[in-house]
Structure 1
Amino acid sequence: MQALGKFIVIEGLEGAGKSTAVSIVSEAIVAAGHVLVNTREPGGTAMAEAIRECVKADWPDEKVTIEAELLLMYAARAQLVQNVILPNLQQGNWILGDRHDMSSRAYQGGGRMIDSEMIESLRRITLNGFEPDLTLYLDVEPKEGLKRAKGRGELDRIEQEDLSFFERTREAYLAMAEQDQNCVVINTMQTLPEVHHDIQLAIKQYLEQ
């Protein structure tokens, strides 16, 4: 069945301002008269939320392998897409996702340097070509993003990685954004009013299409 709603995703490193962007975009979509469902990844269903806790937790007695981390991310995504995203899109509802597949390709592919063929295999199995209609990538310099993230509280297992990990992740994000015609890059190193303006402009232009 062809999807009738639209799937919009907010992407970015820690400290990029995704929560604020989600709020701005949500308001615009609802004001345009659409029924909106918000999701987050990993998470969004009971099982996927349990996987989220598993992924983000510290496991002091064992090493979390990069392969296990990757597989858990796609397991959670499969649950969310099949149980929440696709059914709502087919009903004509709009979905706004706080992260989606680009995150795995950036964090596990770029940051963890996992072989791209392994990731592509999982993408084919779990997504079968399903992609967002619009992605807003909030670009922030990793050092500044981590500084902002630390200011809001305790960091989880992935957020505690070293700076080079996030630099590789950002490079992967930027490379993907350049190749994705449905991705808009928002520079979050600007002033807050400028960032908010650019987000509002991006969603306004999309809604007017």
Structure 2
Amino acid sequence: MKGKFIVIEGIEGAGKTSAINYIAHILRKEHKIKKIKIVREPGNTPIAEKLRKLIKKGNKNEELTDISMLLLIYAARIQLIKKIIKPSIKKGSWVIGDRHTLSSFAYQGGGFKIEDKIINKIHKISMDNFKPNLTLFLDVLPSIGLKRILSRKNRDIIENKSINFFKNTRKKYIKLIKHDKKIIKINANLKINQVYRLIKNKLNSWIKIEKCL
């Protein structure tokens, strides 16, 4: 099969990192896919990593505005797509991404309350119709997700947001994925083995369809 771009989405505590590693395991063991690249947003390129630090940690002398954060996220995203994702797919690799554009619409639109029309304008200019082949949305209740990240040290700007912020973000995610057939919702409130089982079934079913196309 040709290279594909699979994205894992969800609020904090959804279990994205574990899910990404498990998906890579399935692709290698069950589908004999050897070329796999794991990326995260924002990040992975030298410029994007510097932007990630600014987005996540901010600046002690100046507060980052919501629109500025959105623009920095898209700047980092463009670097990642142009420098890593597209070249990797072109070479036949399967790229698994920790977040993509859906996060911007959910977090910036739902949590930070930036108007959709503003995000859409930036998105249209930046993305040139580039989309993931598949998105798995790990749906976890904010009350559960936030409990899972309590032990994290040095939580970033987003992780320190209120539960209402994450409720609004999740609500936006649900609205966004409702009519998109390329996005599969996974119940991430369950125990990890149950979540893995759901991911495996959905992923294998999708790959089976892709092979027939």
- Following TM superposition, by how much is the alpha carbon of 1:61 offset from its aligned partner in structure 2, in angstroms? 2.3
- The aligned counterpart of 2:171 is 171
- Give a deviation string over 1:27-75, Cα, whole Å, max 9, x none: 1122212211110000021110111001011423222100110000000
- Following TM superposition, by how much is the alpha carbon of 1:21 offset from its aligned partner in structure 2, in angstroms? 0.3
Report the 3-state secondary structure (helix = DSSP H, G, I; strand = E; otherwise coil) of the residue aligned with 1:95.
strand
* Percent pairwise identity: 39
- Following TM superposition, by how much is the alpha carbon of 1:191 offset from its aligned partner in structure 2, in angstroms? 2.1
- The aligned counterpart of 1:188 is 188
- The aligned counterpart of 2:115 is 115
Aligned partner of 2:176: which letter? M
Q: Which runs of 5+ in 2 are unaligned?
A: none
- The aligned counterpart of 2:200 is 200
- Following TM superposition, by how much is the alpha carbon of 1:152 offset from its aligned partner in structure 2, in angstroms? 3.1
- The aligned counterpart of 1:157 is 157
| Deviation beyond 3 Å, 4+ runs, structure 1 | none
- The aligned counterpart of 2:49 is 49
- Following TM superposition, by how much is the alpha carbon of 1:150 offset from its aligned partner in structure 2, in angstroms? 1.4
Report the 3-state secondary structure (helix = DSSP H, G, I; strand = E; otherwise coil) of the residue aligned with 2:59.
coil
Report the 3-state secondary structure (helix = DSSP H, G, I; strand = E; otherwise coil) of the residue aligned with 1:64.
coil
Aligned partner (choices 17, 25, 28) of residue 19 of structure 1: 17
- The aligned counterpart of 1:138 is 138
- Following TM superposition, by how much is the alpha carbon of 1:192 offset from its aligned partner in structure 2, in angstroms? 2.0
- The aligned counterpart of 2:74 is 74
- The aligned counterpart of 1:5 is 3
The alignment yields a C-alpha RMSD, in angstroms, of 1.4
- Following TM superposition, by how much is the alpha carbon of 1:207 offset from its aligned partner in structure 2, in angstroms? 1.9
- Following TM superposition, by how much is the alpha carbon of 1:179 offset from its aligned partner in structure 2, in angstroms? 1.8
Report the 3-state secondary structure (helix = DSSP H, G, I; strand = E; otherwise coil) of the residue aligned with 1:96.
strand
Report the 3-state secondary structure (helix = DSSP H, G, I; strand = E; otherwise coil) of the residue aligned with 1:179.
coil
- Cα distance in 2 for partners of 1:136, 1:111 equals 20
- Cα distance in 2 for partners of 1:96, 1:124 equals 23
- Give a deviation string over 1:146-165, Cα, whole Å, max 9, x none: 11111233310111111111
Q: Which runs of 5+ in 1 are unaligned?
A: none
Identify which range, 69-78 or 192-201, moves more after superposition.
192-201
Aligned partner of 2:13: which letter? G
- After the TM superposition, which residues 82-97 of structure 1 pair with which residues of structure 2 at under 5 Å, given as runs? 82-97=82-97
- Cα distance in 2 for partners of 1:33, 1:196 equals 19
How many corresponding residue pairs? 207
- Cα distance in 2 for partners of 1:105, 1:153 equals 27
- The aligned counterpart of 1:33 is 32
Aligned partner of 1:69: which letter? M
